[in-house]
Structure 1
Amino acid sequence: MRFAPLAQAFSDVDLTSVRLVATDMDGTLTTEGKFTPALLQAFEQLTAAGIQVLLVTGRSAGWGSGLAHYLPIWGAIAENGGLFYAGEPRVETLLVPLVDTAQHRQRLAEMFQHLQTTFPNLRESDDNRFRVTDWTFDVQGLAIAELEQLERLCQSASWGFTYSTVQCHLKLRSQDKAAGLLDVLQQHFPDYTAAHIVTVGDSPNDESLFDAKRFPFSVGVANVLDYRDRLAHQPAYVTNAAAGEGFRELAQLLCRAGKREKLT
C-alpha cells in the first residue's frame, strides 16, 4: 500500500471540519521519550483553533489519570481502550466489561506466567502495578517471530495481545483503542461524525485507529513506516517528520486550515 503524504490531505479532506485529534502518545507525541515545549505549544494552538486533543494511549491507568489532569488536553483513554479520564471534571470511566477487577488481574498474571514458560526472559513492565484492565511486559529484545508466537499463544488462550514501541500488552480480545474511542465519542460527542475526527499513531497497537471504515482520516507519524509490513490497517496519510515533530506537522496543517477558513 502506498502511503499518501500528509500535505495531500489539503485536497482530499475538509480539514476545517476537524474538531478532535485522537492521538497515541509514545513515539507519536514524544521525542526521544519526552514531551517538548514545542509539543505543548501545539496543544495550545489546537485548542485555540477549536480542536480538542484526546490521548489514546497504551499507558497505565495511573499515567492516564495524571496526563489528563496536567496536560492542556481534553482527556485521556488509557490501557489501549480500557479506561477513560476526563480532564475536567476528573472522572474515571471503565470502558471494558469487567465485574471483578481483582479477579481479572489475577487471570492476567496467570497468563503472563504461562507465557514465561515459553519465554522465561519476559520482564514485567515497571508501570504494570498501576494497571487495571491489562498486563504489560517489556518489548525490548523480542524479535518479530517471537512477537507473532506470543500473539498466537494469547489467542489460543482467548486473550488479546498487542505491542508498541515500549511494551507488550495482554488484554481482553475485544479491547482496543478504536473500541474505547468509539465508546467515548458516543458518550461525550454523539453529534460528531467521521469528518470531525483525525486519529494519529505510530505502531501496531494503534492499528485499530487506522481502520478506514471507522476513521477515514488517519495519520501516521513517519516512524510508522517501520511497521508497514505488520499493519493490516494502515494510516491514510503519513507525516514527513517522525514522532513529536510529525504530530506538530499535523497540528500546524489543521491550524493553518482554520485560519484560511476565517479569511474566506
Structure 2
Amino acid sequence: MPVSGRPAGEVTGLCRYLPGVTRGLAENGLLEVIPDRAPRWLGRPTDKPRLRQVGERLNAEHDARLRLTGDDFCRLGDIAYERDGRDEPELVRLRDLAAEMGVHLVWSNVHVHLAESVPDKGAAVLQMAAELGLDPRAIVTIGDAPNDAGLFVGGRFGATVGTADIAGQCSTCPRPCIHHPGPRGRRLRRDGRGRPRGRGRRGVRAPTREKSPVRETRRWLRRSQAFAARSTERGSAATIRGDLAAFVLCRGA
C-alpha cells in the first residue's frame, strides 16, 4: 500500500494501475484513497487558505523563495512546495519560522510541506490496520525521508526499513525514529546459528523457517535492485522513484 506525500489525485492513479494495490494513503497520511470512491479524511480537514498564507508570509518576510508544486491543483489537505535543492540547515530554519506561525513544516527528498498538525504516516497506517483487522506486527514499513518519520517509530510495526537516504536525517525528523545500520558485506539469509542457510556440516539441510515480513522485504529489495540494474544495462527508462518510496507491506492483507 503506498503511503505518500503526493496528492490524493496522484495516489489514486497508483492504486488503480499498480498490480495488487487497492488503496493508499495520500498527502502524508491525511487522506485514504480508493479508486472510484471519494477520498476520505483520516483526521480533521485542513484549512488550505491559511496554509497558503503562511507560505506567502515566509516568502515575503523571510526570503523563503518557496515555489508551489505543479500538482497543487489536486491536493486536498496540504500545501507543497518544490524543495529546489535546499539543504537541511535551510529547511530547519524554515521549519522553525513556520512553527512560530502555528504551522508544521516537513520535507521529503523533493518537496516541502506545510500542515496544520505534525504529519504522521505511521498513525494513519495504524488506523487503517485497525479498521481492516490487521495485526501491526505483520506490517513492514519502508521510507526514505523525514516526512516518513511516523513509519520509523519503534514498537509500532513488525519491522521498519529506511533507505540509505534516511540514515543522516534522523535528527531532523519531526518524531523520534530508530536507526540500526544494516549489515555490510554479509549474507542476509542466515539460520539461527549464524551459518548461511543450506546444507549443514553433515549434509543435512537446515530447517526452513516460517516466512517473516522482514525476510520477505529484504528479498523484494534485492529483486528490485537487480531489476533496476538490468533496466539500466538495457538503456530502459525504468527507475525507482525516491519520492514514492514510502509504502507498507502486510502479510495476509
User: C-alpha deviations, 1:56-95, integer Å up to 9, x for none?
Assistant: 00001111111111111132100001111135x6452111
| Structure number having the greater helix percentage | 1
- CA–CA distance in structure 2, aligned partners of residues 78 and 239 of structure 1: 32
Shift of 1:221: 2.0
User: Who is 1:251 aligned against?
Assistant: 220
User: Who is 2:66 aligned against?
Assistant: 122
**Judging changes above 3 Å, is the alpha-carbon distance between structure 1 residues 216 and 161 closer, same or farther for their aligned structure 2 residues?**
farther
Equivalent pair of 1:96/1:175 in contact (CA under 8 Å): no
| Greater relative contact order, per chain length (Cα 8 Å cut-off, separation 6+) | 1
Equivalent pair of 1:162/1:169 in contact (CA under 8 Å): yes
**Judging changes above 3 Å, is the alpha-carbon distance between structure 1 residues 126 and 237 closer, same or farther for their aligned structure 2 residues?**
same
Equivalent pair of 2:139/2:159 in contact (CA under 8 Å): yes
> Structure 1: which 5+ residue stretches go unaligned?
1-53, 241-246, 255-264
Amino acid at match of 1:202: D
User: Who is 1:147 aligned against?
Assistant: 91
Q: Secondary structure at the match of 1:168?
A: strand
User: Who is 1:79 aligned against?
Assistant: 27
- CA–CA distance in structure 2, aligned partners of residues 199 and 183 of structure 1: 14
- CA–CA distance in structure 2, aligned partners of residues 90 and 60 of structure 1: 15
User: Who is 1:211 aligned against?
Assistant: 153
**Judging changes above 3 Å, is the alpha-carbon distance between structure 1 residues 216 and 237 closer, same or farther for their aligned structure 2 residues?**
farther
1:221 maps onto 2:163 in alignment: yes
Aligned length: 188
Question: Which aligned pairs between 1:1-264 and structure 2 lie closer than 5 A?
Answer: 54-72=1-19, 73-86=21-34, 90-98=37-45, 104-117=47-60, 118-187=62-131, 189-190=132-133, 192-231=134-173, 232-235=176-179, 238=182, 249-251=218-220
Q: Percent identity?
A: 29
- CA–CA distance in structure 2, aligned partners of residues 239 and 160 of structure 1: 35
**Judging changes above 3 Å, is the alpha-carbon distance between structure 1 residues 174 and 203 closer, same or farther for their aligned structure 2 residues?**
closer
Amino acid at match of 1:137: Y
Amino acid at match of 1:140: D
Q: Secondary structure at the match of 1:233?
A: coil
Amino acid at match of 1:172: E
Q: CA RMSD in A?
A: 2.6
Shift of 1:235: 4.7
Shift of 1:218: 0.4
Runs of 4+ in 1 over 6 A off after TM superposition: none
- CA–CA distance in structure 1, aligned partners of residues 70 and 140 of structure 2: 31
**Judging changes above 3 Å, is the alpha-carbon distance between structure 1 residues 115 and 252 closer, same or farther for their aligned structure 2 residues?**
closer
The structure having more radius of gyration, on CA atoms, is 2
Shift of 1:119: 2.4
- CA–CA distance in structure 1, aligned partners of residues 22 and 161 of structure 2: 20
Equivalent pair of 1:82/1:180 in contact (CA under 8 Å): yes
Could you tell me the TM-score, scaled by structure 2's length? 0.66
Q: Secondary structure at the match of 1:175?
A: coil
Shift of 1:214: 1.7
- CA–CA distance in structure 2, aligned partners of residues 142 and 148 of structure 1: 10
**Judging changes above 3 Å, is the alpha-carbon distance between structure 1 residues 160 and 120 closer, same or farther for their aligned structure 2 residues?**
closer
Q: Secondary structure at the match of 2:156?
A: coil
> Structure 2: which 5+ residue stretches go unaligned?
185-215, 224-253
Amino acid at match of 2:23: G
Shift of 1:237: 6.4
**Judging changes above 3 Å, is the alpha-carbon distance between structure 1 residues 139 and 250 closer, same or farther for their aligned structure 2 residues?**
farther
- CA–CA distance in structure 2, aligned partners of residues 185 and 214 of structure 1: 11
Q: Secondary structure at the match of 1:55?
A: coil
